[in-house]
Structure 1
Amino acid sequence: MAWRLTAEDRLEIQELYSRYAWGIDLADADMAMSTFTQDCSFDHLWQGKVQGHEAILANLQSLWNDRQHWWYGRQHLMNHFIMEPREEEGECDVRCFFQIIQFQTDYHTNFVFGIGTRIDHVTNKEGPWRFQSLHVNAWTAADQVPWKGELLMVKKPVHKAAPVAGKK
Protein backbone atom coordinates (compact mmCIF):
# COMPACT_ATOMS: atom_id res chain seq x y z
CA MET A 1 0.00 0.00 0.00
CA ALA A 2 1.51 3.31 -1.09
CA TRP A 3 -0.37 5.40 1.46
CA ARG A 4 -1.65 5.07 5.03
CA LEU A 5 -4.48 6.66 6.96
CA THR A 6 -3.20 9.21 9.41
CA ALA A 7 -4.52 9.45 12.96
CA GLU A 8 -6.32 12.62 11.84
CA ASP A 9 -7.96 10.71 8.94
CA ARG A 10 -9.16 8.03 11.36
CA LEU A 11 -10.65 10.62 13.73
CA GLU A 12 -12.35 12.42 10.83
CA ILE A 13 -13.85 9.13 9.63
CA GLN A 14 -15.16 8.39 13.13
CA GLU A 15 -16.62 11.90 13.24
CA LEU A 16 -18.29 11.16 9.87
CA TYR A 17 -20.12 8.24 11.50
CA SER A 18 -21.12 10.48 14.42
CA ARG A 19 -22.48 13.20 12.12
CA TYR A 20 -24.38 10.54 10.16
CA ALA A 21 -25.95 9.13 13.36
CA TRP A 22 -26.87 12.57 14.75
CA GLY A 23 -28.35 13.54 11.38
CA ILE A 24 -30.46 10.45 10.77
CA ASP A 25 -31.54 9.93 14.39
CA LEU A 26 -32.72 13.51 14.91
CA ALA A 27 -34.19 13.96 11.40
CA ASP A 28 -31.65 16.67 10.58
CA ALA A 29 -31.65 16.42 6.79
CA ASP A 30 -28.82 18.92 6.29
CA MET A 31 -26.50 17.13 8.68
CA ALA A 32 -27.41 13.68 7.36
CA MET A 33 -26.96 14.64 3.72
CA SER A 34 -23.62 16.36 4.41
CA THR A 35 -22.17 12.90 5.11
CA PHE A 36 -22.75 11.56 1.58
CA THR A 37 -20.92 12.16 -1.69
CA GLN A 38 -23.15 13.39 -4.51
CA ASP A 39 -23.16 9.95 -6.18
CA CYS A 40 -23.33 7.88 -3.00
CA SER A 41 -25.24 4.61 -2.85
CA PHE A 42 -27.10 3.35 0.21
CA ASP A 43 -27.94 -0.35 0.57
CA HIS A 44 -30.23 -1.09 3.50
CA LEU A 45 -32.30 -4.13 4.44
CA TRP A 46 -35.70 -2.45 4.55
CA GLN A 47 -35.31 0.27 1.93
CA GLY A 48 -33.15 -1.59 -0.56
CA LYS A 49 -30.45 0.12 -2.63
CA VAL A 50 -30.76 3.78 -3.60
CA GLN A 51 -28.29 6.03 -5.42
CA GLY A 52 -27.62 9.77 -5.15
CA HIS A 53 -28.61 12.57 -2.78
CA GLU A 54 -32.19 12.93 -4.00
CA ALA A 55 -32.98 9.22 -3.57
CA ILE A 56 -31.23 8.99 -0.20
CA LEU A 57 -33.05 12.05 1.13
CA ALA A 58 -36.41 10.69 -0.07
CA ASN A 59 -35.57 7.40 1.63
CA LEU A 60 -34.72 9.12 4.93
CA GLN A 61 -37.80 11.34 4.79
CA SER A 62 -39.92 8.22 4.33
CA LEU A 63 -38.36 6.68 7.43
CA TRP A 64 -38.75 9.86 9.46
CA ASN A 65 -42.34 10.58 8.41
CA ASP A 66 -44.04 7.39 7.22
CA ARG A 67 -42.82 5.27 10.14
CA GLN A 68 -42.23 7.89 12.79
CA HIS A 69 -43.25 5.57 15.65
CA TRP A 70 -40.48 3.27 14.39
CA TRP A 71 -37.91 6.05 14.24
CA TYR A 72 -38.52 8.66 16.92
CA GLY A 73 -36.18 8.18 19.93
CA ARG A 74 -33.57 6.07 18.10
CA GLN A 75 -29.83 6.09 18.46
CA HIS A 76 -27.57 4.38 15.93
CA LEU A 77 -24.33 3.29 17.57
CA MET A 78 -21.41 2.27 15.39
CA ASN A 79 -18.22 0.86 16.88
CA HIS A 80 -15.18 -1.39 16.52
CA PHE A 81 -14.03 0.25 13.31
CA ILE A 82 -11.63 -1.49 10.96
CA MET A 83 -10.38 0.98 8.36
CA GLU A 84 -8.65 -0.44 5.30
CA PRO A 85 -7.22 2.02 2.79
CA ARG A 86 -7.77 1.16 -0.85
CA GLU A 87 -5.03 1.41 -3.43
CA GLU A 88 -6.10 4.87 -4.56
CA GLU A 89 -5.22 7.56 -2.01
CA GLY A 90 -8.24 9.05 -0.24
CA GLU A 91 -10.34 5.88 -0.61
CA CYS A 92 -11.03 3.61 2.36
CA ASP A 93 -13.29 0.69 3.28
CA VAL A 94 -14.67 0.71 6.82
CA ARG A 95 -16.16 -2.25 8.64
CA CYS A 96 -17.98 -1.82 11.92
CA PHE A 97 -20.62 -3.27 14.17
CA PHE A 98 -23.80 -1.33 14.81
CA GLN A 99 -26.58 -1.34 17.35
CA ILE A 100 -29.82 0.60 17.20
CA ILE A 101 -31.33 1.42 20.55
CA GLN A 102 -34.61 3.20 20.99
CA PHE A 103 -36.64 4.99 23.60
CA GLN A 104 -40.23 3.93 22.97
CA THR A 105 -42.19 7.05 23.90
CA ASP A 106 -45.62 5.37 24.23
CA TYR A 107 -44.42 2.87 26.84
CA HIS A 108 -41.49 4.85 28.27
CA THR A 109 -39.14 1.93 27.75
CA ASN A 110 -35.77 1.45 26.11
CA PHE A 111 -34.94 -1.51 23.90
CA VAL A 112 -32.51 -2.77 21.28
CA PHE A 113 -34.16 -2.39 17.89
CA GLY A 114 -31.46 -4.11 15.86
CA ILE A 115 -27.83 -5.09 15.53
CA GLY A 116 -25.55 -6.02 12.67
CA THR A 117 -22.50 -5.10 10.65
CA ARG A 118 -21.70 -2.53 8.02
CA ILE A 119 -19.20 -2.37 5.21
CA ASP A 120 -18.91 1.16 3.92
CA HIS A 121 -16.68 2.91 1.42
CA VAL A 122 -15.57 6.41 2.41
CA THR A 123 -13.68 8.96 0.37
CA ASN A 124 -12.29 12.45 0.66
CA LYS A 125 -12.50 13.15 -3.09
CA GLU A 126 -15.02 15.98 -2.50
CA GLY A 127 -13.17 17.52 0.45
CA PRO A 128 -13.92 16.10 3.90
CA TRP A 129 -14.41 12.36 4.38
CA ARG A 130 -17.86 11.27 3.19
CA PHE A 131 -19.71 8.06 2.45
CA GLN A 132 -19.35 6.84 -1.13
CA SER A 133 -21.39 3.73 -0.37
CA LEU A 134 -23.04 2.22 2.69
CA HIS A 135 -23.97 -1.41 3.06
CA VAL A 136 -26.03 -2.20 6.15
CA ASN A 137 -26.23 -5.88 7.13
CA ALA A 138 -28.94 -5.96 9.79
CA TRP A 139 -29.02 -9.36 11.46
CA THR A 140 -32.52 -10.77 11.08
CA ALA A 141 -31.55 -14.42 10.48
CA ALA A 142 -28.68 -16.68 11.52
CA ASP A 143 -27.15 -16.74 8.04
CA GLN A 144 -26.65 -12.95 8.12
CA VAL A 145 -24.11 -13.13 10.95
CA PRO A 146 -20.68 -13.09 9.22
CA TRP A 147 -19.33 -15.90 11.40
CA LYS A 148 -15.90 -17.16 10.27
CA GLY A 149 -15.54 -20.10 12.66
CA GLU A 150 -17.00 -23.56 12.38
CA LEU A 151 -20.68 -23.41 13.29
CA LEU A 152 -21.25 -26.10 15.90
CA MET A 153 -24.74 -25.14 16.97
CA VAL A 154 -27.31 -27.79 16.25
CA LYS A 155 -30.66 -26.48 15.12
CA LYS A 156 -33.38 -28.00 17.22
CA PRO A 157 -36.92 -28.29 15.91
CA VAL A 158 -39.34 -25.72 17.22
CA HIS A 159 -42.15 -27.33 19.19
CA LYS A 160 -45.50 -25.69 19.58
CA ALA A 161 -46.69 -25.37 23.15
CA ALA A 162 -49.31 -27.86 24.18
CA PRO A 163 -52.78 -26.34 24.51
CA VAL A 164 -53.72 -25.29 28.01
CA ALA A 165 -56.78 -27.06 29.39
CA GLY A 166 -59.88 -24.92 29.05
CA LYS A 167 -58.32 -22.49 26.50
CA LYS A 168 -58.84 -22.54 22.78
Structure 2
Amino acid sequence: MTADWKLTAEDRLEIMELYARYAWGIDLADEEMALSAFADDGWFEHLWQGRVQGHDAIRENLRSLWNDRQHWWYGRQHLMDHFIMDPLDQPGEAKVRCFFQILQFNVDYGTNFVFGIGTRTDHVTKRDGRWLFQSLTVNAWTSLDQVPWQGELHLKGRPKYTMPPASDVHRTA
Protein backbone atom coordinates (compact mmCIF):
# COMPACT_ATOMS: atom_id res chain seq x y z
CA MET A 1 0.00 0.00 0.00
CA THR A 2 1.36 3.40 -0.97
CA ALA A 3 1.02 6.39 1.37
CA ASP A 4 -0.82 9.43 0.01
CA TRP A 5 2.04 11.78 0.92
CA LYS A 6 5.73 11.93 0.01
CA LEU A 7 8.92 12.57 1.94
CA THR A 8 10.53 15.77 0.71
CA ALA A 9 14.23 16.07 -0.05
CA GLU A 10 14.51 18.11 3.15
CA ASP A 11 12.80 15.32 5.13
CA ARG A 12 15.24 12.79 3.71
CA LEU A 13 18.26 14.93 4.63
CA GLU A 14 16.90 15.49 8.13
CA ILE A 15 16.38 11.73 8.55
CA MET A 16 19.96 11.08 7.43
CA GLU A 17 21.12 13.64 9.98
CA LEU A 18 19.06 11.80 12.62
CA TYR A 19 21.18 8.72 11.92
CA ALA A 20 24.34 10.83 12.21
CA ARG A 21 23.17 12.32 15.54
CA TYR A 22 22.46 8.81 16.82
CA ALA A 23 25.90 7.49 15.74
CA TRP A 24 27.85 10.47 17.10
CA GLY A 25 25.94 10.23 20.37
CA ILE A 26 26.38 6.52 21.02
CA ASP A 27 29.92 6.26 19.67
CA LEU A 28 31.33 9.20 21.63
CA ALA A 29 29.34 8.59 24.84
CA ASP A 30 27.39 11.83 24.39
CA GLU A 31 24.30 10.94 26.36
CA GLU A 32 22.24 14.00 25.45
CA MET A 33 22.99 13.69 21.75
CA ALA A 34 22.12 9.99 21.77
CA LEU A 35 18.83 10.58 23.59
CA SER A 36 17.97 13.49 21.29
CA ALA A 37 17.61 10.94 18.48
CA PHE A 38 14.71 9.11 20.19
CA ALA A 39 11.09 10.03 20.79
CA ASP A 40 10.30 10.05 24.54
CA ASP A 41 8.46 6.72 24.15
CA GLY A 42 10.87 5.45 21.48
CA TRP A 43 12.56 2.07 21.72
CA PHE A 44 15.22 -0.09 20.18
CA GLU A 45 15.49 -3.83 19.76
CA HIS A 46 18.97 -5.28 19.59
CA LEU A 47 20.38 -8.79 19.52
CA TRP A 48 22.20 -8.54 22.84
CA GLN A 49 20.20 -5.95 24.80
CA GLY A 50 16.71 -7.01 23.73
CA ARG A 51 14.01 -4.35 23.72
CA VAL A 52 14.82 -1.11 25.55
CA GLN A 53 12.08 1.55 25.68
CA GLY A 54 11.94 5.15 26.86
CA HIS A 55 14.67 7.69 27.56
CA ASP A 56 15.37 6.43 31.10
CA ALA A 57 15.86 2.82 29.96
CA ILE A 58 17.91 3.88 26.92
CA ARG A 59 20.11 6.10 29.13
CA GLU A 60 20.69 3.24 31.60
CA ASN A 61 21.49 0.82 28.76
CA LEU A 62 23.97 3.19 27.12
CA ARG A 63 25.68 3.98 30.41
CA SER A 64 26.13 0.25 30.97
CA LEU A 65 27.64 -0.21 27.50
CA TRP A 66 29.92 2.81 27.84
CA ASN A 67 31.11 2.07 31.37
CA ASP A 68 30.81 -1.67 32.04
CA ARG A 69 32.38 -2.73 28.73
CA GLN A 70 34.38 0.36 27.87
CA HIS A 71 37.20 -1.59 26.21
CA TRP A 72 34.57 -2.87 23.72
CA TRP A 73 33.00 0.51 23.16
CA TYR A 74 35.81 3.07 23.15
CA GLY A 75 36.82 3.84 19.55
CA ARG A 76 33.67 2.41 17.95
CA GLN A 77 32.00 3.85 14.84
CA HIS A 78 28.51 2.92 13.67
CA LEU A 79 28.07 3.56 9.96
CA MET A 80 24.65 3.44 8.30
CA ASP A 81 24.13 3.70 4.56
CA HIS A 82 22.03 2.78 1.52
CA PHE A 83 18.85 4.20 3.00
CA ILE A 84 15.42 3.27 1.67
CA MET A 85 12.80 5.61 3.15
CA ASP A 86 9.13 4.80 2.73
CA PRO A 87 6.39 7.09 4.05
CA LEU A 88 3.81 5.29 6.16
CA ASP A 89 0.06 5.91 5.94
CA GLN A 90 0.09 8.72 8.49
CA PRO A 91 2.00 11.88 7.46
CA GLY A 92 5.15 12.38 9.53
CA GLU A 93 5.75 8.64 9.93
CA ALA A 94 8.22 6.66 7.83
CA LYS A 95 9.92 3.27 7.65
CA VAL A 96 13.66 3.43 7.00
CA ARG A 97 15.77 0.45 6.00
CA CYS A 98 19.55 0.59 5.80
CA PHE A 99 22.73 -1.41 6.01
CA PHE A 100 25.08 -0.88 8.94
CA GLN A 101 28.68 -1.58 9.71
CA ILE A 102 30.44 -1.17 13.03
CA LEU A 103 34.13 -0.37 12.90
CA GLN A 104 36.17 -0.79 16.04
CA PHE A 105 39.51 0.56 17.24
CA ASN A 106 41.12 -2.06 19.46
CA VAL A 107 42.69 -0.06 22.29
CA ASP A 108 44.83 -3.00 23.48
CA TYR A 109 46.55 -3.61 20.13
CA GLY A 110 46.12 -0.27 18.36
CA THR A 111 44.42 -1.99 15.42
CA ASN A 112 41.10 -1.54 13.65
CA PHE A 113 38.59 -4.18 12.60
CA VAL A 114 35.00 -4.67 11.48
CA PHE A 115 33.02 -5.54 14.61
CA GLY A 116 29.75 -6.32 12.87
CA ILE A 117 27.49 -5.79 9.87
CA GLY A 118 23.80 -6.16 9.19
CA THR A 119 20.58 -4.39 8.37
CA ARG A 120 18.16 -2.21 10.26
CA THR A 121 14.47 -1.49 9.92
CA ASP A 122 13.48 1.65 11.80
CA HIS A 123 10.32 3.67 12.30
CA VAL A 124 10.93 7.41 12.37
CA THR A 125 8.41 10.03 13.37
CA LYS A 126 8.30 13.80 13.00
CA ARG A 127 7.41 15.52 16.27
CA ASP A 128 7.58 19.25 16.92
CA GLY A 129 9.32 19.70 13.57
CA ARG A 130 12.10 17.12 14.25
CA TRP A 131 12.56 13.58 12.97
CA LEU A 132 13.13 11.06 15.79
CA PHE A 133 13.41 7.31 16.18
CA GLN A 134 10.12 5.80 17.28
CA SER A 135 11.66 2.35 16.98
CA LEU A 136 15.00 1.00 15.88
CA THR A 137 15.43 -2.70 15.07
CA VAL A 138 18.92 -4.10 14.53
CA ASN A 139 19.42 -7.28 12.51
CA ALA A 140 23.08 -8.10 13.19
CA TRP A 141 24.28 -10.81 10.84
CA THR A 142 25.62 -13.55 13.08
CA SER A 143 24.27 -16.53 11.12
CA LEU A 144 23.32 -17.39 7.55
CA ASP A 145 19.56 -17.11 8.14
CA GLN A 146 19.85 -13.47 9.29
CA VAL A 147 20.97 -12.20 5.89
CA PRO A 148 17.79 -11.00 4.11
CA TRP A 149 18.76 -12.64 0.81
CA GLN A 150 15.99 -12.51 -1.81
CA GLY A 151 17.61 -14.58 -4.54
CA GLU A 152 18.02 -18.32 -4.85
CA LEU A 153 20.54 -19.53 -2.33
CA HIS A 154 23.25 -21.92 -3.58
CA LEU A 155 25.18 -22.28 -0.32
CA LYS A 156 23.62 -25.60 0.66
CA GLY A 157 26.14 -28.28 1.40
CA ARG A 158 28.82 -25.80 2.36
CA PRO A 159 30.20 -26.37 5.84
CA LYS A 160 28.96 -23.86 8.37
CA TYR A 161 31.82 -21.90 9.89
CA THR A 162 31.80 -21.73 13.67
CA MET A 163 34.27 -20.03 15.95
CA PRO A 164 36.55 -22.46 17.79
CA PRO A 165 35.98 -22.68 21.55
CA ALA A 166 38.04 -20.15 23.50
CA SER A 167 40.07 -23.01 24.98
CA ASP A 168 41.27 -23.93 21.44
CA VAL A 169 42.53 -20.45 20.63
CA HIS A 170 46.25 -20.22 21.29
CA ARG A 171 48.11 -16.98 21.85
CA THR A 172 51.77 -16.28 21.49
CA ALA A 173 53.40 -13.98 24.01
TM-score normalised by structure 2 residue count: 0.89
- Determine which of 77, 81, 85 is the counterpart of 1:79: 81
1:138-153 equivalences under 5 Å are 138-153=140-155
Q: Tell whether 2:73 aligns with 1:38.
A: no
Q: Deviations over 1:36-64 (max 9, x none)?
A: 00000110011000111111111111110
| Corresponding residue of 1:19 | 21
User: Would you say the 8 A contact 1:104–1:110 is kept in 2?
Assistant: yes
- Determine which of 48, 51, 55 is the counterpart of 1:49: 51
- SS of 2:127 mapped into structure 1: coil
- Determine which of 21, 27, 31 is the counterpart of 1:29: 31
**Overall identity of the aligned pairs, in %:** 70
1:85-164 equivalences under 5 Å are 85-157=87-159
Q: Which has the larger radius of gyration?
A: 1
Distance 1:96 1:157, change over 3 A: closer
CA distance in 2, matches of 1:38, 1:22: 19
CA distance in 2, matches of 1:129, 1:74: 24
- For 1:37, the aligned partner's letter is A
CA distance in 1, matches of 2:73, 2:108: 13
Distance 1:137 1:105, change over 3 A: same
CA distance in 2, matches of 1:62, 1:104: 19
Q: Deviations over 1:71-101 (max 9, x none)?
A: 0000000000000000100000000000000
Q: Deviations over 1:13-43 (max 9, x none)?
A: 0000000000000000000000000000110
Distance 1:14 1:157, change over 3 A: closer
CA distance in 1, matches of 2:158, 2:13: 45
Residue 2 of structure 1: how far off its partner (Å)? 1.7
- Determine which of 2, 6, 24 is the counterpart of 2:4: 2
Residue 105 of structure 1: how far off its partner (Å)? 1.3
- Determine which of 61, 70, 73 is the counterpart of 2:72: 70
Distance 1:157 1:139, change over 3 A: closer
User: Would you say the 8 A contact 1:77–1:99 is kept in 2?
Assistant: yes
Gaps of 5+ in 2: 162-173
TM-score normalised by structure 1 residue count: 0.91
| Corresponding residue of 2:167 | none
CA distance in 2, matches of 1:158, 1:152: 13
User: Would you say the 8 A contact 1:37–1:126 is kept in 2?
Assistant: no
- SS of 2:40 mapped into structure 1: strand
CA distance in 2, matches of 1:103, 1:135: 24
